[in-house]
Structure 1
Amino acid sequence: MTATRVTPATRPSEGAGATKTGPPVNVVGDAAQGAHRGVQARAIGVRIRAAREARGWTQTDLADRTGYTQATISRWEGGHRDITAIDLLRVADALGVTAADLLPKAHCAPEGITP
């Protein structure tokens, strides 16, 4: 996986006149990984959904707690939209888990390194 620079981003849903700054950063890989990225996006989505449902929350509940729309939560959970590192951190914080808990285990730490 190629290293990517994470830049802060503000989402339009974060207030009137807010604009998005910096390109989105895909935490599941780069464009060269193609179909593999889609599989990883779905795996992250499954973990987000499981953590949300474990709390008895609806997608709207999670959206309210993160500032994203219900449609965005749905796209992430369905693997139809990549999630950025910043977005993943915000979702994990709202769910009371770590970002690593939401990533497929192969993405948590390089071989031989313990988190």
Structure 2
Amino acid sequence: MSGHEKINYVELPANNLAAAKQFYGQVFGWVFADYGPDYVAFANSGLDGGFYRSVKQSSVAAGAALIVLYSKDLQQTETKVLAAGGTIVKPVFTFPGGRRFHFADPNGNELAVWSEQ
């Protein structure tokens, strides 16, 4: 395996695994492999990972690390997030290097999307 001592995989909580698969597949084109009733792996995401069944959520306010995705078209991605059932946690704002917004997926996990534009 390459990438010795580098970040290799990320796992997020999800009470509803089917909702997670639907949302991330629809918005970002991720693909999934089920590993029993309580775990689903994802790929085609930039960094592979998985969702484990849990009633908890990942949020910055609770001290969780923030996963940030990249988009060439921030507005289009925001529209897709909302259409798939996500909610905006922090509206688009400017920072040195670009703009971004934070969203919560249908399971309540907070992620962000950024763009140079």
Compare the two structures and name the one with the higher strand fraction: 2
Instruction: Say yes or no: TM over 0.5.
Output: no
Compare the two structures and name the one with the higher helix fraction: 1
TM-score (norm 2): 0.31
TM-score (norm 1): 0.31
